[in-house]
Amino acid sequence: CKSTDYPKDLPTASVVIVFKNERWSPVLRTVYSVLNRSPKHLLKEVILVDDQSDIDEMGQRLDDYCDEHFGDLVRILRAPTRLGLIKAKNYGAKNATGDVVVFLDAHCEANTGWLEPLVYRIKQKRTAIVCPVVDGISSYQLSYYSGTTSSLGIFSWSLHFRWSGSLLRINAIRNSSISPILLEPLLFRIKEKRSAVLCPGIDMISDSNMGYGGTGDGSVGGFWWSLHFNWIPIPPRTRNAQKSRVDPYPSPTMAGGLLAAHREYFFEIGGYDDDMEVWGGENLEISFRVWMCGGSLEFVPCSRVGHIFRPGHPYNMTGEKGKGDVHGRNSMRLAEVWMDDYKRFYYMHRHDLKGKDYGDVESRREIRKRLNCHSFKWYLENVFPEKFILDENVHAFGEVRNPATSLCLDTLGKDEKATIPLSIYSCQNGVSANQYFSLSKHDDLRREDTCAVVSGHGSDSLPVILSACAYIDHNQKWVLEKNGAIVHHPSKLCLDIEGLKNNDQLQLKKCEPNKPSQQWRFEHYSTS
């Protein structure tokens, strides 16, 4: 990255930073890092959007400080009413005057030369949305630190973003000055491709000591079917397509806080959904929309930004008057407009939302029609073919019941980012996402991202666990026999519920023909 030369005629950038009751230090750290590490001819302005802060230091004191130290280069926009993060970003972008709009959170540190890679990529491809690589800043010490380079962002079918792989394992604490990275790649890429939406590398800023650290550039974004974002390792097909490790690489989704886009293109494709509330779901919505409507979402390895990852949500997630479910409603809007029939997986996770009001989405559907966008099936096949679809290319799926006891396989709601026991619980008749399992055509007994494997060996009674699925692992191979037995192929032992009760961990035992405690019935069987 240090040896890369960028053209001088790159697009200019407006950096939009939204805050509400952010503390003085992180806001100023963000602003100073942008000003000090951005070429003057590329940085058009920094726009601070105050979303109705009510702490004194973010009021007149901030106005006076910016006037004295930054002049016209830093503008403060005071939202007339409480907007929430999503609407506040649109508000800032509509007031921007640069060729490219860059969104940063108010608790970041732009690393040396962070901007050029982003705008360079947008110059190359106007329809690219680009993101920096994210390093960490401790929320306790405020030190900048780096991690591994083997993860990327994905999503769950419950529509939550998450990191996957070893991204969050910290390698070393370091000072950002020893890892200079370039700004030009962002601007140059936007000049090359106006439709590119770009993400700089997001480094972590410690929430304890405020130190700056890195997470590396080995990740892309995905999602869970619960519609939460997650990070996953870069797929081999993506790595193989790169001519150089510093080339921008595509990502199915993005975390959403840090990104750059050609300002005109950003609004051509609909900006953010102004009828989403506060925060949550907007990152997956724009990710799906950009890909499905002809653009691309990319990470730019030569652009790095540190970010303070704070425990808990900084926003009220209950919506207006505290009576709503902001993420749920926002995700419903996303699912209803963009996911076609695959929205069934989201509602599998959120049965409680069926029939609930998600507002008028006709204007968002009109965007999809106007831009002649692809189907969500196209997105899964062409952008995210690694995403496991729970009821496609499987032998069987749904609830896995032992008829003799009416007990079912269950995760007990435990966090599946870690290894957990495969347990049993009273069957919920198809209304609990914790009891949804698939037997894939690869003979994996699995969930969305975790597979059933055996813990231990050499015994006639072995516990079964759920851990991250591997591309090739004979320990996660299972056979469904005609009599309903589920046999672990390597050990030739059977899933057995004998002597177990609610919340107990499943065991493997010696197979016995027609033994009731070893007979299982899936809710659905594939006919293909």
* Model pLDDT, residue 288: 98
Angle 85-99-117 from CA coordinates, rounded to 5° = 85
Q: What letter represents residue 493's amino acid? A: L
Nearest partner of 325 among 347, 355, 358, 288, judged by Cα: 358
* Model pLDDT, residue 250: 96
Q: Percentage of the chain with pLDDT > 90? A: 70
The string of pLDDT tens digits covering residues 403-443 is 999 999 999 999 998 899 999 999 999 889 999 999 999 99
Domain 108-308 top-level CATH class:
alpha beta
CATH label, 394-525, candidates 2.170.150.70, 3.30.540.10, 2.80.10.50, 3.40.50.1240: 2.80.10.50
Residue pointed to by tokens 């925060």? 279
The span from the CA of 312 to the CA of 43, in Å, is 33
Q: Which helix (H) or strand (E) holds 68?
A: helix 60-69
What are the boundaries of each domain within the chain? 108-308, 394-525
**How buried is residue 307: exposed, middle or buried, by Cβ count under 10 Å (0-12/13-18/19+)?**
buried
Stated pTM of the model: 0.87
20 in helix, strand or coil? coil
The span from the CA of 430 to the CA of 436, in Å, is 8
Length of the chain (residues): 528
The string of pLDDT tens digits covering residues 358-395 is 999 999 999 999 999 999 999 999 999 999 999 999 99
The span from the CA of 472 to the CA of 476, in Å, is 9
CB 26 within 8 A of CB 308: yes
Please give the structure tokens belonging to residue 457: 């060996």
What letter does residue 113 receive in the DSSP assignment?
A: T
* Model pLDDT, residue 316: 65
Averaged pLDDT for residues 14-21: 96
The string of pLDDT tens digits covering residues 307-342 is 887 766 555 656 665 557 899 999 999 999 999 999
CB 199 within 8 A of CB 257: no
CB 162 within 8 A of CB 233: no
